Each structure stands twice: as structure tokens, then as C-alpha cells.
Amino acid sequence: MGNGQAAGRVAIVTGGGTGVGRAAAQALLGGGWRVVVAGRRPEPLQEVAKGAPDRALAVPTDITDADSVRALFDAAVKAFGRVDLLFNNAGTGLPAHPLEDMAVADWKRVVDTNLNGVFYGIQNAFRVMKAQDPMGGRIINNGSISAHAPRPHSIAYTATKHAVTGLTKTASLDGRRYNIAVGQIDIGNAHTDMAARMAKGVPQANGEIAVEPLMDVGIVGQSVLYMASLPLEANILFHTVMATKMPFVGRG
């Protein structure tokens, strides 16, 4: 979709101040979208938004708080009139740790962000998208390679990312009547602060430590832009973008 076709279309990107969210927000802005950038810390959001001040809005948001997520969508509608896309990206993990030693508070924090927060986004996107004219829109959930296969000592992150797949499938089904397309992007080893440790060596399933290849996070931003650019009659239900040589589809 060229800039002319995207002109006037409105996206919300959660976790938009850093990493994958930042790359996606910048790609969408580069594609002519108006973008509401959400996240916990105002400074990184404002840094992204100042790249296109007439088309970008920074809205500090706590996605674990349902009222805060509702306020985010209300701010988007107030500023731009509608919401055509939600990139439900914000997420968190924990340092690798044996599951039997995990603090309950840490488990709940990951569930609150990666599962509950994604649900609040979907719920509010449905609320807005089914009521606007023309009706409908698109939701892209950030799954992860961990929505398919775990890393060692990652039970909270892996369980919640598997749960995101359930949210995607159900929302895709329930969105049909409202012309809401719901899909998922599963990302493997994009070069972000969160994944930088891969270059130093990370635990493998066989107990070894191995350096893993990384890909430019800008590639993920372009993937999100492509998924977002489809007409609503078409949907990419699952899109996996990964470093070509990462150890995912083998034994080890």
C-alpha cells in the first residue's frame, strides 16, 4: 500500500517506544499512517512521535490496567477520529530461572502483561472498530517463536505467548461479523535490547550455551506494515519472521 492509500488510516502500537514496537511505529509512519504510540515511559514514546509530529501521538499507557487501555483508545479516537489497526505488541519476560523457584508475583506480572494486557487491547479495539464508520479494522498480536516452542526456563513467557495464539484465533473468529481481521506475528531473534543477549550465547535445549543469529528489527517493522496494508477482505492469520539460521526448526 502506498502512502496515498494509507493516508488517514490510524494505528495504535503498544510497547511502541522501544524494540519491535518502535520499529513497527516507524514503519507505519513511513507508510503514511497516523500512529498512536503507547508504552509505560513517556520519553521513548515522544522520541518516536517527534519523527512525524503531525501524524503521531504519544500516550503513556499501562497495558496491565484495563482503564488505562480504554483511555488509550479514547485518546486515539479523540485525536484522529477512528482506529484502523492495533499492533498489540507490549510484552515482558523474566530472566531464565527454574520454574520451581519462580516467585508467584513474577508469574502474575508476566500473565498480567502478556495475556491480560493483550486481551484488554483486543477488547477495546473491538469496542471502537465495530462502532466506527466504515466499520472494522485489523488487530496484529505479537506472539513470538515462544508461541510455538519454549526455551529452557521460560515457563511464564512461553505459557502466555501460547495463550496469545488462543486470543488470536478466537478474536479472528469473533471479529468476522464486524469486519475485524485478527492475525499474529511470531518473531524470532530480532536485534533489540531484549534479544541482544543472543549474540553473547544463550542456553539451548541440550544444555549447551550457543550464540544465535539475529536479524535487523527493521525487517519486523516492514512485516507489520505489510500485514497492515492488506485490504480487510484478506488476513495473514500467522506470520513467522525470524533470523534464517536461528535454531528453531531443528533438534537443538
DSSP secondary structure letters along 136-169? -EEEEEE--GGGTSPPTT-HHHHHHHHHHHHHHH
* Residue 227: count of CB within 10 angstroms of its CB: 21
Which residues fall within 8 angstroms of residue 25, CB to CB, at 6 or more apart?
A: 11, 13, 16, 35, 37, 48, 56, 221
Orientation of helix 217-229 relative to helix 19-30, angle to 10°:
50
Which residues fall within 8 angstroms of residue 71, CB to CB, at 6 or more apart?
A: 59, 61
Residues with catalytic function: 157
Dist. CA 82–CA 3, nearest whole Å: 18
